[in-house]
Chain A
Amino acid sequence: MSVMETTTGVSAEARSMAGSPLVWGVAALLLVYPLVATPFLTFQVGGYALILGTIALSLSFLAGYGGMVSLSQMSAAGLAGYVVAIFGFNSFGSGFGWPWWLVVPIAVLASTAFSVGVGLLAIRTEGIYTIMITLAIGVAFFLLAQQNYAIFNGHSGFAGIAPPVLFGLNWRDPLPFYYLALFVAAVFYLAVVYIARAPFGLALQAIRDNPRRMRALGYNVTAHRVAAWALAGIAAGFGGVLLVWFNGRISPGTIGVDRLIDILVIAIVGGTRRPAGAFLGAIFFVLLDTYAINVMGAERFNTLIGVLFLAIVLFSPDGLLGLWEKARRSFATRGSGV
């Protein structure tokens, strides 16, 4: 898609970023953060942002490197959450009660299979169709979860889902949970950074820019795209498991249209050109979500989010990261000019 940037610039920049003091600074900040922040800030803001960031990362990976904007990543995450509730423990006693080390892989497998299935459908068409198909699938899954009581327990969903107590730690306590979320987020962040520079990632980006030429060069376009969907499904799955542990419950509201679009907003506001964008967007979103109430009341939060989203799409298609880079570049040129 012509919207997305060309390949070489991104990977070269990513390479130079790896050793930059900024990256180490941010990493150190993230590690130290819970030691200085209140438990509320650690759990409700930090942990939540990392989870949403991981799910948004799966979208921004598909969109930024694969050129496929998927609105059903939250559905994949939600499916993982439902699997945790159904196969593990929930307060209705309807869970199978399987241990976490069995449930989590099943959940991630389910979300990966879901994502691959969606991908197989979406890649049968080109470009903008993907948004429509993924949105339709996302809404259909939401309606199914809402209407179906036999499997998804309908409108009320499941509650009383908790992460395991392991190594003497309750993983839902703010500190352990934050580090768990940080670990998962970091793994996927580094994975995306690595993949972007690996042969597979380069081929994927080339397919995004010109699928016909890549096909002519002998690349299996379909296989590359499906693999990207599978990777996105894994990230969304882990995000979903963390999310259901974070909320302690899952219901159709978690995978409603608003939530699907929230993930898109996070990815786009942060910027899809770089994996860091998803997390930047998530922090921005969670901070707004938490503190906008104090500024303007809870009523019109969606208007605020919508207007901000519109502003980003209209004026800075590369998101907040794009703004930051623009500022840095203009600063740099001004500096050299003097």
Chain B
Amino acid sequence: MAARSPLLTILIALLVALLVWLFVAAWPEWLTGAIGAKKLFVTTIFNGVTVAGLYFLVASGFTLVFGLMRNVNLAHGSLFLFGAYIGYSVATATGYWLIGVAAGFLAAGLVGILMQVLVFRRMEGDELRQTLVTIGISIVAADLMLAVWSGKTYQFATPDWLDGAVRTPFILAYRSNGAAVPMMYPWYRLVVLAAAIVIGVGLWLVLNRTRIGMMIRAGVDDRAMLSASGVNVHVVFAVVFGIGAGLAGFAGVVGGTALSIAPGEDVRYLLASLVVVIVGGMGSITGAAVGALLIGLAEQIGLAYFPTYGVVLTFVIMVAVLAFRPQGIMGRPA
């Protein structure tokens, strides 16, 4: 889109240049006076991008399931929380964080496959009913998880090799003796961001460059035709549902380590997934990435600069997208 309009290209180039300058340059007095210290700004952007990585992990599964099966899985947040709890329990029992991550992925993925096989297969094509069922499941799941893991807040122990902060190349300020103060940032959060990018690229490659990806894309466009051309649609559906749910569980463990795990988090991540998919466009991995980035940044900028109206910013983005591009930024018109 940008390539077609030179004006827009120039505008985007200017914005990028401005952003780079904001990161690299030492801020003049008037700028600090206007929007606060450079440290706040740079940290906020970093937080926004890393939170976006987490949102992307959760929302990519949501958008895959929605795109393929037209099933708004409102139990997606529950899968996130379930994966996180299982991951926590396994990690504490075995002492290995990575086993916890794997357990979170597998447990949520398994539940996802079970949901697909036992429930959704029985009411195919009835979108509203499927969605209502996921609401019922999320009510029961939230209550049962409360029964098992209680209302406590869990905090994973970050493994040693992921702990600590790293020095980033951005200079925040200069001390009076001329020494530069670099920005320190938690190593773990950067790893989460990297993992999200790797998984995102991997998903994109699987969807666009492999045979199963071709089947999934064909299923998004026309389920009946895919089925008629000899593909076992049920298997494709189960695999996608499993991967989507597994990603939610994976994000649960990873996100629980970066932040924390408590009842109510399911709703927060469900909201994030909803908004990311509405903004990004359904069934599109690129859309989920763009949406996650927008929402993550909006949330963190809101938290930092206008705390009590932070949600409004996220909401405004959603409204603006719906008003001008109802199918989402990357979505195709129906």
Contacts and interface: CB of A to CB of B under 8 A. Distances in A.
B21 to A, nearest CB: 32
A273 to B, nearest CB: 13
Contacts of B318: 133, 136, 140
B106 interface: no
B128 A3 contact: yes
Interface stretch (B165-173, B238-246, B270-278): B270-278
A1 B128 contact: yes
Given A136-B275, A261-B139, A306-B140, A121 B312 contact: no
Nearest to B146: A302
Contacts of B70: 128
B322 A309 contact: no
A132 interface: yes
Interface string B277-312: 110000000000000000000000000000111111
A314 B322 contact: no
A305 interface: yes
Interface stretch (B92-100, B130-138, B179-187, B250-258): B130-138
A126 interface: yes
A148 B306 CA distance: 10
Contacts of A265: 139
B274 A132 contact: yes
A303 interface: yes
A310 interface: yes
A277 interface: no
B267 interface: yes
Contact of A121 (B270, B274, B275, B322): B322
A132 B277 contact: yes
Contact of A268 (B132, B137, B147): B132
A128 B131 contact: yes
Given A124-B322, A131-B72, A300 B274 contact: no
A147 B147 CA distance: 28
B74 interface: yes
Nearest to A1: B128
Interface string B118-152: 00000001111101110111011011100100000
Contact of B126 (A3, A139, A144): A3
Contacts of A303: 139-140, 143-144, 147
Nearest to A67: B128
Interface of A is mostly: helix
B174 interface: no
A129 to B, nearest CB: 7
Sorting the interface of chain A by its residue count into under 10, 10 to 19, 20 to 34 or 35 or more gives 35 or more
Given A131-B72, A268-B132, A314-B133, A125 B327 contact: yes
B311 A300 contact: no
Given A3-B126, A302-B140, A317-B129, A132 B314 contact: no
Contact of A140 (B72, B126, B311): B311
B135 A264 contact: yes
Contacts of B278: 129, 132-133, 136
B315 A140 contact: yes
B190 to A, nearest CB: 28
A149 interface: yes
Top 4 A-B residue pairs of the complex, sorted by shortest distance between their CB atoms: A306-B139, A306-B140, A310-B136, A302-B143
28 contacts: A3-B129, A69-B128, A128-B70, A128-B128, A131-B74, A132-B72, A132-B278, A136-B274, A137-B315, A140-B271, A140-B318, A144-B309, A148-B308, A148-B309, A264-B132, A264-B135, A300-B143, A301-B143, A302-B139, A302-B143, A303-B144, A303-B147, A306-B137, A307-B136, A309-B135, A309-B136, A309-B139, A310-B137
Given A129-B278, A132-B278, A140-B315, 5 more contacts: A127-B128, A131-B128, A140-B314, A261-B135, A310-B133
